[in-house]
Amino acid sequence: MPKNNRPSYIGHRQRIREKFVSSGLDAFLDHETLELLLTYAVARKDTKPIAWALLKKFGSLAAVLDADPAQLVAVPGVGQSTAQFLKLIRAVFKKYSLDEVKERITIRTPQQVLDYCKASLAGKKEECLEVIYLSVRNTVMGTQVVASGLIDRVAVSPRKIVECALAAKAAALILVHNHPSGDATPSQEDIDLTQDVIRAAALFGISVHDHIIVGKGSHYSLKANGKIE
């Protein structure tokens, strides 16, 4: 095809990819990051309007990646394969964050696991309670979602959490759950559940290092706020 007859998006795709190669994502705005991602999922089409439409609907890059596939395909230009691609990006980020945590020698502060907590639970539409299992050296052995929906002492019992920890051969654990409302402040139920788990786990020599609650752009550590001794 003669150069003058080439669609404008072809040159734009090349330029935005070259910008990433030379500068990385630090030089990118949210819409440019989405445009770049979409060039690998949308063929023979200008991705800029799609990127702007996604940001207009969801408000931010993080919200786009957190959106359900059904919500994504409602945006003009986004098909099923593109929605699946965006969800794959989110899933890969979660796995990467977990691998980063696992590579740490020890875990002693909430900040060291916070990146994983946010990657795992931020943006979820329902409450999920996840347990991070630690070895005697405080290395991460694995994680497990033990409950989803309404998180209280009825929905998930301390006994179940301890049984899961014993099955994982964990010496210690960190509780993590999200507040879809956005406010990370713990409820009395959150505090009571934590104390019940601490007492139940202690019977088997298992320590509870922390309970981290993830909100929208915020988090709350029961340990850092004196709720766990």
Q: At CA 162, angle to CA 157 and CA 166, rounded to 5? A: 150
* E strand or H helix at 220: strand 219-221
pLDDT, averaged across the chain: 84
Q: Is 125 exposed, middle or buried (0-12, 13-18, 19+ CB in 10 A)?
A: exposed
pLDDT, residue 196, reads: 93
Residue range 169-203, pLDDT digits in tens: 999 999 998 888 888 899 898 999 999 999 999 99
Separation between Cα atoms, residue 161 and residue 131, nearest integer Å: 8
Query: Residue ranges per domain, the chain?
Result: 3-94, 106-221
Question: Which CATH architecture describes the domain 106-221?
Answer: 3-Layer(aba) Sandwich (3.40)
The Cα-based distances of 48 to 10, 21, 23, 53, 141 in angstroms read 12, 19, 19, 9, 42
Residue with tokens 């709350």: 220
Cα distance from N-terminal residue to C-terminal residue, the chain: 70
Least confident of 43-57, 117-131, 165-179: 117-131
Structure tokens at 123: 């943006």
- Cβ proximity of 53 and 75 under 8 Å: yes
Residue range 2-14, pLDDT digits in tens: 455 555 566 778 8
Residue range 54-108, pLDDT digits in tens: 999 999 998 899 888 999 999 999 999 999 999 999 888 877 776 766 665 455 5
What class has domain 3-94?
mainly alpha
pLDDT, residue 126, reads: 81
pLDDT, residue 154, reads: 42
